[in-house]
Amino acid sequence: MMLLHIISPFLFLYLFFASSLLPHASSSLCSFPSLLDCEFVPGTYSYAGDVNIFGTVTLTTNGTLDLRVSGTLKIHASGSIDVTGMGYQYEDESSPGPGFRDDFGQGTGGGHGGTGGINTMHEVPYPGQPYGQPFSPTTPGSPGGSGFYNENFEPKVAPGGHGGGVVLITARQVILDGTILANGASPFDGSCSNAGTGAGGSVSIVTGMFGGSGAGLISANGGSCTESEGAGGSGGRIYIHYNQTSFSQRQILASANAYGGRSNFFKPLLTPSAPDDSTMPHIPSAADGAAGTVVFASPNTPPLLVVRRYARVNDEDKGIRRLDEIEPTFGFSGAGVTVFTNSDITQPFKLFAGAHSDVMFQGGSRYTLLGLYKLDAMVLKTSAVHVRPSQVIDIKACVSMRLEISIVMYTGSRVITPRTLTLEASSLLLGHNVTVDNLHAVRLGGNSILALSSTAYTRSFQNTFTPGTFSVFSMALADFSRIDQFDAIAFDDDTIPHVTLDVADEFIMTGHATVTATSLNLLAKSVVLSELSAVSADGRGFTTSFGLDSVQGRGPGAGVLKALDEQIHGTSAGYGGQSAFCTLFFLYQCRPQYPVGGVPYGSTAFLGNEVGSSGAYVSHGGSRPGAGGGRVSILAREYVMIAGTISARGEASTGPSGAGSGGAVTINAPQIAGQGKIDVSGGFAVDGGAGGGRVSVSSYRATYNFTGSVITSGGDAYKHVFGARIAGAPGGSGTFFLDLASSVPGGPRYRALTADNQYRRLIANDQLTIDNSAFTVVSGLGQAFHLDLLIVTGFAKLFFGPDVDTVSVGEIRGGVGGSLTVMPMQ
C-alpha cells in the first residue's frame, strides 16, 4: 500500500521537546541554526526552530543524513546538501543492485530506481538491478561494475563508481533555493576508464509547505562518463510530500530529477559551435542508465509520478530500440527500465515521462492512472508503460484521454481504457492473450501506432470476447498513424493468424495512414481510405526459412528446388496464377521450363482464408526467397470508398531463389467507389516471376462506381547479360472476380472475370519481348457457371480448372496477347 506522510502538530511538539536529540557533528562549522560548509557523521539530527544552510553540507562517510526541523529549513542559493557517492561503495557485498564487469573489461552501471546501463556491443552478465521503495525511499544507490584500462601497457582495474547516499528531511516548511544532491559517482572524475558509474541515491522530504524561488534543484542522478565506454548508473529515488506548495505544477516537475547516468557510448562528435559536451544534446544509448523515480504527493491532489531519463536528447535517436520495432511477447533485454517496486498503489496517480523512458510496475497487480503525459517533445514513440503479465492498468477514470505515452501489454495483461482513447504520437502494443476493456472509440493521431496480435481482444461495448478481435464503435487514423498486426505465420506451423477490426460505425483513414496485417478482417458500417492511405498485406503470407541448406517454399503453391545445368534453382510460388521459370538466355530470349511447382490453388470467387505462398530458397549466391502476399477482407454494411491503396503483393526474391505469389483481397459492400488501387501482383525473381493473387469484389450493379486499377499481374523476371536487360518469364496473372447483384430483388446478377498480365510487359532493347508468361487457373466456381464478361489480356493465358465442367460466357474480350484454353471434356 502507498504510504502518505501527513504533517501534524503533534509531530512538531515532539520535535520541539526532543532537545536531547540536538546535532552531533564532526566539525565546529556544523552549528545550528546556520550551517556553512559542514560534515556530519551519518545519523539523525533534530532541531527545534528554523535552520538555514548557506554552505555545503555533506557526510564524513557513506550513509544517511536525516534532518528533522520543527520550523523552516531553508537551503539558500549558495547552500547545498551533497551526498554524491555516499551510498553503497564499490565492492560492498551488501549492495542489492551492483554493476558487473564483462569479458571485454567494461563495467555495467549500478541499479536503484531502474536498471543500470549496459554496453550493447558486448555480452555482459546483466546490468545493476532496481530495488527500493518509490513512496518511502531510504536506500542508497549501488556501485557500478569495474573496468579494465591500460597504463604504460600494463592492464589495470578501474573500480566502479560509488552509489549516491541518502537524505531524509522532515520540516514544517522547506524553502529550496539551493541544491540537494544524492547522485551516483563517476570513476576517475568522469573519465571512468571503462568502469560503470554508481546509481543515484535517495531523497525524501516530508513537509507542510514546499516552496522557494524556483531556481533550486533536487537530484539523484546516476553517474555519467565523459570518456571510455563504461555504462551509466540508474537514477535513484526521490519522494516529496507536502500539504501546500507555492510552486506551479510546471515548477514542481522541474524541481527534482533522477536522470539515468550517461555513457560515452554513441557520444556525438563535437563541432565548433558546440565546444564541449555540456552544450551538446545526448544521443540515447542502452549503455545509459535508466531513469530513477520521482514522486510528488499531496493530500489534496493525486500523486505525480515522474520518470525522465535524460535532460536533453538528440532527435537522431541512435542506439536505442524504438517501440515500433519490438514485439510485446519477447520482453525486455533488461537495460533502460525504470521500475516502481511497490505493492499495489491503490490511489490513482498521474504519470509523466520524458524521452526514452520505459516504466514498469513490479510487485503489484493493479494500478489506476489518471493520465499519461509527456515531458519532452521527443517522447515520440520512445517512452512507454510496460504492463507485465497478469497486471491490470486502469485508465478509465476520464471519459476521454489523450494518450501521450505508449502502453506495451505483455502476455495475459489487461488495460481498462476510457470510452474514447486518442493516441498522440504514442503506441498501444497488445501482446498475446491481452484484454482491452471499456474502449468505445479510438483515434490514432499523427505518428501513432496500434499493434495487435491474433490472440489479443477487446471486451467492447458489445461485450464480445473473441480472440484477435479489436471491437470499437468508431476508429479514425490520422496522417502517418499505423495499425500493425505483429504476429506472422510461424515457420513450424501453417496456421494463419487472423486479426479482426470490428467497427460498429465509421472506419476512416486519412493522409499517409497505414494498416499492415498478415490476415485482416475489417468489418464496419463504412470504410474510407483517403488518398495516400494504405491497407497492406504485402509479403505477409507464407515465408520460407533460409540458412545453410536449400529448402522448398511453403504454402499450397510453394516454389520448389529444381536441378538444371548442374545447378540448383529455386522456383517462385503460385496462387491465382502459376509461377514461371526459365534459365536459358540466348538471343535475348529465354526457354520456359515446366513443371516448376508454384501451382495455382484456391477459389476464384470465394477466397476464404487463403494467403500467398513463398518461393524456394537456394543457399548460395547471397540469395533470399520472397514471401507470399497476405490477406485483406473488407465487409461494410453501407459503403467502401477507396482513394488509397489496398495491397497483398508477393515479395521479390534475390539471387537464384524464388519469389512469393500475390495474396488475396476481398471487398463486400452495397456501394463501392473511388479511384484508388487494389494490387495482388506476384513478386519478381531472376529465373521466373511468381503468380499473381486473387481479388473478389461483391456489390450492387447500380452503386458500383470503383474506377481505379485492379492489378493481378504475375511477377517480373529478367537478367542483365553483358550490360543488357534481358526479359525472362513473368508469372501467370491472378484473377479479378466481380459479382454485382441487382438492385431489384430477384433481378439478374452480373459477373465478370479478368485475367490481365499487362502490368508485367517488359521492354528489352526497345522491342517488346516475346511472351513467356505462365498460366492463370480459374477454379472453385462449381461445375456449371455463368459469366457475363470474360477479359483475358496483357499476355495472360487462362484456362478453367478440372472442377469446372461448363461455363457460359455472355461476352469475351481479349487483347495484347491474351489467350483462353479450353481443356478436354469442358
- Gap between the Cα atoms of 698 and 741, Å rounded: 8
Say whether the peptide bond before residue 303 is cis (omega within 30 degrees of 0): no
| Single-letter code of the amino acid located at 68 | R
Rounded (to 5) percent helix, strand, coil in the chain? 5, 40, 55
Least confident of 301-305, 348-352, 806-810: 806-810
Q: Is 209 exposed, middle or buried (0-12, 13-18, 19+ CB in 10 A)?
A: middle
- Gap between the Cα atoms of 626 and 683, Å rounded: 7
Task: Please say if the pLDDT value at position 344 is more than 60.
Answer: no
What residues contact 278, with CB distance under 8 A and at least 6 apart? none
Cell numbers standing for residue 250: 510546471
Residue 228, pLDDT score:
65
Tell which residue, 84, 119, 83, 70, has the closest CA to residue 99: 119
- Residue 599: CB atoms within 10 A of its CB come to 20
Task: Please say if the pLDDT value at position 271 is more than 50.
Answer: no
- Gap between the Cα atoms of 78 and 178, Å rounded: 6
Task: Please say if the pLDDT value at position 102 is more than 60.
Answer: yes
Q: Are strands 724-727 and 718-721 parallel, antiparallel or unpaired?
A: antiparallel
Residue 445, pLDDT score:
85
What residues contact 313, with CB distance under 8 A and at least 6 apart? 281, 282, 283, 284, 355, 356, 376, 378
Residue 768, pLDDT score:
34
pLDDT digits 0-9 by tens, 650-697: 999 998 899 999 999 999 999 999 999 999 999 999 888 999 999 999
Strand partners, 352: 306, 373
- Gap between the Cα atoms of 116 and 110, Å rounded: 5
Task: Please say if the pLDDT value at position 331 is more than 50.
Answer: no
- Gap between the Cα atoms of 629 and 681, Å rounded: 9
Confidence of residue 11 (pLDDT cuts 50, 70, 90): very low
Cell numbers standing for residue 703: 452503386
pLDDT digits 0-9 by tens, 276-321: 333 334 455 667 889 999 999 999 889 999 998 877 544 433 333 3
- Gap between the Cα atoms of 327 and 382, Å rounded: 14
- Gap between the Cα atoms of 470 and 482, Å rounded: 15
The DSSP secondary structure of 651-711, one letter per residue, reads PP-BTTSPPPPP-EEEEE-SEEEES-EEE-PPPP-SS-PPPP-EEEEEEEGGGEEE-SEEE
- Gap between the Cα atoms of 739 and 141, Å rounded: 70
What residues contact 578, with CB distance under 8 A and at least 6 apart? 598, 599, 600, 691, 731, 732, 774, 775, 776, 777
The pTM is what? Answer: 0.82
Residue 823, pLDDT score:
57
Contact between 290 and 234 under an 8 Å Cβ cutoff? The reply is yes
Q: Maximum Cα–Cα distance for the chain, whole Å?
A: 113
Say whether the peptide bond before residue 33 is cis (omega within 30 degrees of 0): yes
Question: Residues of 698-709 as b/e, b for ≥16 C-beta within 10 angstroms?
Answer: bbbbeebebebe
Residue linked to cell 538471343: 587
Phi/psi of residue 114, nearest 5 degrees? -150, -170
Q: How far is CA 513 from CA 258, 468, 484, 790, 803, in A?
A: 37, 21, 11, 35, 41
Confidence of residue 568 (pLDDT cuts 50, 70, 90): confident
Task: Please say if the pLDDT value at position 244 is more than 90.
Answer: yes
pLDDT digits 0-9 by tens, 621-646: 778 999 999 999 999 999 999 999 99
Tell which residue, 724, 579, 703, 602, has the closest CA to residue 653: 579
pLDDT digits 0-9 by tens, 68-91: 999 999 999 999 999 999 999 998
Least confident of 53-67, 664-678, 705-719: 705-719
Residue 63, pLDDT score:
94
Least confident of 7-21, 707-721, 734-748, 780-794: 7-21
Tell which residue, 340, 329, 372, 374, has the closest CA to residue 355: 374
- Gap between the Cα atoms of 432 and 428, Å rounded: 13
Phi/psi of residue 377, nearest 5 degrees? -65, -25
| Single-letter code of the amino acid located at 815 | G
Contact between 230 and 195 under an 8 Å Cβ cutoff? The reply is yes
Contact between 185 and 162 under an 8 Å Cβ cutoff? The reply is yes
Residue 613, pLDDT score:
97
DSSP 33: T
Contact between 790 and 813 under an 8 Å Cβ cutoff? The reply is yes
Give the Cα-Cα-Cα angle 98, 100, 101 (nearest 5 degrees): 155
Strand partners, 403: 423
Return left, alpha or beta for 705; rule: phi > 0 is left, psi -120 to 50 is alpha, else beta: alpha
- Gap between the Cα atoms of 360 and 305, Å rounded: 12
**Radius of gyration in angstroms for the set of CA atoms belonging to the chain, rounded to a whole number:** 33
pLDDT digits 0-9 by tens, 175-188: 999 999 999 998 87
- Gap between the Cα atoms of 206 and 208, Å rounded: 7
End-to-end CA separation in angstroms for the chain: 78
3-state secondary structure of 760: helix
pLDDT digits 0-9 by tens, 500-559: 999 999 999 999 999 999 999 999 999 999 999 999 999 999 999 888 889 999 999 999
Residue 217, pLDDT score:
95
Contact between 254 and 216 under an 8 Å Cβ cutoff? The reply is no
Least confident of 64-78, 130-144, 245-259, 270-284: 270-284
pLDDT digits 0-9 by tens, 476-495: 999 889 999 988 888 777 88
Average pLDDT, the chain: 82
Distance from chain centroid for Cα 379:
13
Q: How far is CA 539 from CA 550, 627, 659, 683, 729, in A?
A: 20, 5, 10, 9, 21
3-state secondary structure of 351: strand
Task: Please say if the pLDDT value at position 268 is more than 70.
Answer: no
Task: Please say if the pLDDT value at position 591 is more than 90.
Answer: no
Residue 534, pLDDT score:
97
Phi/psi of residue 364, nearest 5 degrees? -120, 165
Return left, alpha or beta for 131; rule: phi > 0 is left, psi -120 to 50 is alpha, else beta: beta
Task: Please say if the pLDDT value at position 333 is more than 60.
Answer: no
Percent of the chain having pLDDT more than 70? 81
Contact between 58 and 82 under an 8 Å Cβ cutoff? The reply is yes
What residues contact 134, with CB distance under 8 A and at least 6 apart? 113, 237, 239, 293, 295, 305, 340, 341, 342
Q: Is 41 exposed, middle or buried (0-12, 13-18, 19+ CB in 10 A)?
A: middle
Q: Write a three-state SS string for 474-511.
A: EEEECCCCEEEECCCCCCCCCCCCCEEEEEEEEEEECC
Instruction: Tell me which of 146 and 113 has the higher pLDDT.
Output: 113
Average pLDDT estimate for 376-405: 76
The runs of H, that is alpha helices, within 162-313 are 249-254
Cell numbers standing for residue 227: 570518456
- Gap between the Cα atoms of 70 and 207, Å rounded: 10
